[in-house]
Amino acid sequence: MQIDNIITEALVCVLLCICSIFDIRKKELPLLILITGFLTALGIEMWHICKGLETVSGIAESLLPGMFFLLLGFCTREKVGYGDGLMLIILGLFLGFFRCFLILCVGLIFSSVFALILLIFRKAGRNSRLPLIPFLTIGMGVSFFV
């Protein structure tokens, strides 16, 4: 594994852990952290374009999961938070489409199992809200091993 990949993975893990704490405690993500993560990811991608390691179409493709979640948040009147979509855009920029999609799928599976357990034990109702970012963090951990 190259050193820039290791640094990128570490940045993403730190970003996800910080955002997980905010998402669990306050049910919202700090805009400053999201903007910082986005600008950092964008800068890295611009560097990769200059070096010829990435194409503009590849970057546009990596934004698709996050854009879908932003659209989903708009259509459901924020039942899915905009912060989740923004975090997926940042993950897509840092890690690419397939890795972002893997993290999203694993996160959604874990959150579904957790929600089912809460429903079975009557700890949550039908309209309860779960933070998604901690499950994306779990998805990032699982993606290390896949």
Q: Are 29 and 133 in contact (CB under 8 A)?
A: yes
3-state helix, strand, coil in the chain (%, to 5): 80, 0, 20
Reported as a single tens digit per residue, the pLDDT across 97-119 is 999 999 999 999 999 999 999 99
pLDDT band at 31 (very low <50, low <70, confident <90, very high): very high
Reported as a single tens digit per residue, the pLDDT across 5-18 is 888 899 999 999 99
